[in-house]
Structures are given as structure tokens and as C-alpha cells.
């Protein structure tokens, strides 16, 4: 279900933007408009849709307009033109009162530098959103405490923000945003100011929270690793324009243009690709066949081992060429020479986690699902190919995305 539908959202800084809008619609670039009109294009006709419960990452280098874009969504910056529909209502066209109501009930924001109120205690900070809605003191205290508990800061209620570490301060920021129980969280480089270890913890925790809360999250970042880790989908921005939207795999493997390609070229593919992305079709044999058939099959397909499966493709074991030759010589059945101790991995295992297994195993890795059904095989060459970026990824289904997300948390 679509939660947020953004169409042609544009921000031009400076007065009299009409000419610049016209130029943009004619396809003019940011540089060209600056030259012709002296106006700065913040966001150039951005259009995208975010689904309910999705983590939508907007990524770009500094100056690409990503922070402006997120501020257009709750109109901290007034859009020049375009529409922002949240649950079908256009935020861009709302009156001040309607906008205030949306900000209070539906949208909460987490800031890069935390933006905690230094004169208020942790609890008073978290209470803020509820306080301005006029909730009775007891009720808002209760809700604020729950939000603090959710982010693991129970017991810190009466501390002042400057007594906390950066990571803890951002937890307060997150709790403050969650206390309102909004549908949508806007996170503007929320973890960028934290040091790398803390940042990783916070990412994990956000994903864990998200798996139970199912908020719609729009997450701004300049860090590709972060985007790949937490994003269900990623939008890449350059010069105020969205240049590509896709799942992390799509962005990595099918970069829309040179800019995206450059952006993603340094990515550690082993942390992005899964076993299923590099696996090959397995050569299999069933137990009712004899050693001769097995040898013939190996010769035909040019492999030195076959996976033994039953009719339902359940993995039973593996037979190697040597074992089959031995069976043929000694008159044994396939079952007698089947090696049942086969290294297996799941389809969603990261390439990164395959290295050890594949380095120390004489046999290729079998990719099986929860029911032990054989899906594919991973050989060393395919892993290397994956690292070199020679992989075509098929369109992912939403169900697989959520599967992957849960896996990341664990």
C-alpha cells in the first residue's frame, strides 16, 4: 500500500522562480539554471512513492539536495511546486492548521545533530511532542517513559541531554520522535554524527525496532553501506534530481548511469550479494540410478560431483567421481558411496559469510531452503565473479526483502 506519493516535488531557492521552473521542465540542469537565472535548484522534480512499512533511503553526496527533500516532506522548507500526498492528502496544499495537525500526528523527524532541547531533561525532551498537543501531564509522562524504554534508556529520564553520549542522545531523539506514535519517521542523516561502531549498533537497533513497529521510514544518508544495510529501497540523488530508485541489489548491479556506477564502485559486494545471487543450477541424480548413469551424467555436464536428491529435490548427499568409479568397480550402489556430510548454506547467506566455508571445503556449497530442498550450488568461480560485480539480479519480491531484513538483525 502506498503511504507517501511524491510528484514533481521541486524547490528553487530565491525569488521569482517561475522562469527556473519552466527551464527545469524543459530539462535544464542545475548549473544551467544558476547561470541563466541566478537561482539555486534545491530539489528538481522529485517523484517517488513509499509503501507502508517500508524503509526508503534517500542517498546522495552533500549538496545533492537530500536534506532539502526530506524537509520539503514536512514543509520545514516550503516547496516551490509539486505535491506530497500522505494517505491521499496533499501536504503541500494544506493550511497552516492542517499542516500542524499532520506534523503532530503523522510525521516525526530525527535530526543529524540530535537537536535535543538543552534546557529540558531527557524525559521533558521526549514529552515535547505530546506536551504541545496539550496532553495531560500524567498521560504524556507515561507515553514518554514507554518510548524511552523502547530505545533502551529507561532510568535516564531526569538526566540533561549534555550528560549523555552521542549515541544515547540520538536514542533520545528517536524516542522523542516515537513518543507521538507517528506513521512516518523522517530521519535526516540520523546516524551520521555518531562514530562508526555506535552507528552500526544504532542501525541494528533501528532495524530491530522496525521489525516490530512497521513504521514507514524515510532515511537520509550519504553513506552507501548504511543505505544498503537498512534500505528496502534506495533513491539516489544528484544535483537535486533522483537518478535511480531501486532495491539495494538493483542499484548495485544495474547502476542507472555513470554517477550511480561511480557511487557504488567501491562497495564491498560480499556484504550485499547473497548465495542465491551467485549460485548455479545444480547437477543432481536420484538414488534409483546406478553408478554408470552417474558417471555418464558427470561426463556430459563436465562436473566431478553430483548432488543426490529425492523426487522432491530434497538434498540427501553428494557423490564424487572417484566414489562412483569405486562403486562401479566394487559393485556397490550409489547409496553406499553417498557422502551425506555436505556443506550447505541458505539462499540469503551473505557472500561475505561464504568465504570460510568455500575456502576449506573440497566440495562446492549446496544452497538449500528451510525444507532442505536443493536450490543451487555455489562454486569458487561464481563467488569471485560476484565480487567482481558480474551478477544479474532478478526483481526481488517484497516477502524476500523482509526475510532479508530479519536476517540482518540477527
Partner 1 sequence: MDKLFPKLPLDQWVETLVRYLWKQAGGGFDLIKMLISGWVDFLAFLFMGLPDWAMILLFSLLAWLLSKRSVAIFTFIGLSLVSNLGYWVNTMQTLALVLTAALISIILGIPTGIMCARKKAVRDVVMPVLDFMQTMPAFVYLIPAIFFFGIGEVPGVIASVIFAMPPTIRLTNLGIRQVPVELVEAADSFGSTAAQKLLKVQLPLAKPTIMAGVNQCIMLSLSMVVIASMIGAKGLGADVYRAVTQIKIGKGFEAGLAIVILAIMLDRVTQHIGNHKKNKEERA
Residues contacting 334, CB < 8 A, separation 6+: 285, 287, 289, 290, 291, 294, 308, 319, 324, 327
Bridge partners (DSSP) listed for residue 109: 186
Instruction: Pick between residue 180 and residue 338 the one whose CB is nearest to partner 1.
Output: 180
Minimum CB separation of residue 105 from partner 1 in Å reads: 8
Instruction: Pick between residue 102 and residue 278 the one whose CB is nearest to partner 1.
Output: 102
Grid coordinates of 141? 509522562
The full length of the chain comes to: 410
Instruction: Pick between residue 118 and residue 136 the one whose CB is nearest to partner 1.
Output: 118
Minimum CB separation of residue 380 from partner 1 in Å reads: 50
Q: Cell 516490530 appears where?
A: 212
Residues contacting 234, CB < 8 A, separation 6+: 56, 57, 58, 59, 227, 228, 244, 245, 246, 247, 248, 251
Instruction: Pick between residue 48 and residue 128 the one whose CB is nearest to partner 1.
Output: 128
Q: Cell 503532530 appears where?
A: 104
Grid coordinates of 180? 507521538
Minimum CB separation of residue 120 from partner 1 in Å reads: 8
Minimum CB separation of residue 183 from partner 1 in Å reads: 14
Grid coordinates of 148? 524511552
Minimum CB separation of residue 117 from partner 1 in Å reads: 6
Question: Max CA-CA distance within the chain?
Answer: 91
Query: CA–CA distance from 24 to each of 93, 237, 298 (Å)?
Result: 21, 16, 61
CA atoms within 13 A on the CB side of 266: 6
Instruction: Pick between residue 2 and residue 76 the one whose CB is nearest to partner 1.
Output: 76
Minimum CB separation of residue 108 from partner 1 in Å reads: 7
Instruction: Pick between residue 109 and residue 327 the one whose CB is nearest to partner 1.
Output: 109
Neighbouring C-beta atoms of residue 297, cutoff 10 Å: 16
The DSSP element (H or E) to which 252 belongs, if any, is helix 248-253
Grid coordinates of 164? 549523555
Minimum CB separation of residue 81 from partner 1 in Å reads: 21
| C-alpha to C-alpha distance for 102 and 239, rounded to whole angstroms | 29
Residues contacting 271, CB < 8 A, separation 6+: 225, 228, 350, 351, 352
> 188 phi and psi, to 5 degrees?
-95, 100
Query: CA–CA distance from 82 to each of 11, 19, 78 (Å)?
Result: 9, 16, 11
Minimum CB separation of residue 163 from partner 1 in Å reads: 10
> What does the buried/exposed string (b/e) look like for 347-378 if buried means 16 or more CB atoms within 10 Å of the residue's CB?
bbbbbeebeeebeeeebbbbbbeeeeebbbbb
Instruction: Pick between residue 29 and residue 40 the one whose CB is nearest to partner 1.
Output: 40
| C-alpha to C-alpha distance for 201 and 233, rounded to whole angstroms | 21
Q: Where are the beta strands (DSSP E) in 189-271?
A: 216-221, 233-238, 241-246
Instruction: Pick between residue 71 and residue 405 the one whose CB is nearest to partner 1.
Output: 71
Minimum CB separation of residue 130 from partner 1 in Å reads: 9
Instruction: Pick between residue 26 and residue 78 the one whose CB is nearest to partner 1.
Output: 78
Minimum CB separation of residue 241 from partner 1 in Å reads: 24
Instruction: Pick between residue 216 and residue 247 the one whose CB is nearest to partner 1.
Output: 216
Contact set with partner 1 (CB under 8 A): 71, 74, 76, 99-105, 107-109, 111-113, 115-119, 128-129, 131-133, 160, 176, 180, 186
Amino acid at each position: 500500500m502506498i503511504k507517501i506519493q511524491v510528484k514533481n516535488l521541486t524547490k528553487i531557492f530565491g525569488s521569482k522562480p517561475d522562469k527556473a521552473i519552466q527551464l527545469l521542465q524543459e530539462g535544464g540542469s542545475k548549473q544551467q539554471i544558476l547561470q541563466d537565472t541566478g537561482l539555486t535548484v534545491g530539489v528538481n522534480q522529485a517523484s517517488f512513492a513509499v509503501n507502508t512499512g517500508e524503509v526508503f533511503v534517500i542517498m546522495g553526496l552533500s549538496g545533492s539536495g537530500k536534506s532539502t527533500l526530506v524537509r520539503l516532506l514536512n514543509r520545514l522548507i516550503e516547496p516551490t511546486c509539486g505535491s506530497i500526498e500522505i494517505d491521499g492528502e496533499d501536504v503541500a496544499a494544506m493550511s497552516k492548521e492542517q499542516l500542524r495537525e499532520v506534523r503532530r500526528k503523522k510525521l516525526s523527524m530525527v535530526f543529524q545533530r540530535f537537536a535535543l532541547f538543552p534546557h529540558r531533561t531527557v524525559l521533558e525532551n521526549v514529552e515535547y511532542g505530546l506536551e504541545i498537543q496539550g496532553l495531560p501531564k500524567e498521560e504524556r509522562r507515561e507515553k514518554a517513559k514507554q518510548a524511552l524504554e523502547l530505545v533502551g534508556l529507561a532510568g535516564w529520564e531526569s538526566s540533561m541531554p549534555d550528560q549523555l553520549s552521542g549515541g544515547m542522545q540520538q536514542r533520545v531523539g528517536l524516542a522523542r520522535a516515537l513518543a507521538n506514535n507517528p506513521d512516518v519517521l523522517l530521519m535526516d542523516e540520523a546516524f551520521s554524527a555518531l562514530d562508526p561502531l555506535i552507528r552500526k549498533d544504532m542501525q541494528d537497533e533501528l532495524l530491530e525496532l522496525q521489525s516490530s513497529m512497521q513504521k514507514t521510514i524515510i532515511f537520509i544518508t550519504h553513506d552507501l553501506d548504511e543505505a544498503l544495510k537498512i534500505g528496502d529501497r534506495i533513491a539516489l540523488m544528484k544535483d537535486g534530481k533522483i537518478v535511480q530508485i531501486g532495491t539495494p541489489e538493483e542499484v548495485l548491479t544495474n547502476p542507472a548511469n555513470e554517477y550511480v556506477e561511480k557511487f557504488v564502485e567501491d562497495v564491498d559486494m560480499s556484504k550485499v550479494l547473497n548465495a542465491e545471487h551467485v549460485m548455479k543450477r545444480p547437477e543432481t541424480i536420484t538414488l534409483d540410478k546406478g553408478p554408470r548413469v552417474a558417471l555418464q551424467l558427470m561426463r556430459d555436464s563436465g562436473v566431478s560431483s553430483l548432488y543426490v536428491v529425492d523426487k522432491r529435490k530434497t538434498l540427501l548427499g553428494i557423490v564424487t567421481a572417484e566414489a562412483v568409479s569405486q562403486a562401479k568397480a566394487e559393485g556397490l550402489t550409489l547409496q553406499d558411496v553417498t557422502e551425506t556430510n555436505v556443506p550447505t548454506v541458505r539462499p540469503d547467506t551473505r557472500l561475505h559469510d561464504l568465504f570460510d566455508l568455500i575456502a576449506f571445503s573440497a566440495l562446492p556449497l549446496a544452497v538449500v531452503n528451510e525444507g532442505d530442498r536443493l536450490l543451487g550450488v555455489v562454486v569458487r568461480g561464481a563467488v569471485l565473479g560476484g565480487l567482481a560485480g558480474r551478477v544479474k539480479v532478478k526483481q526481488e519480491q517484497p516477502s524476500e526483502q523482509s526475510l532479508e531484513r530479519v536476517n540482518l538483525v540477527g
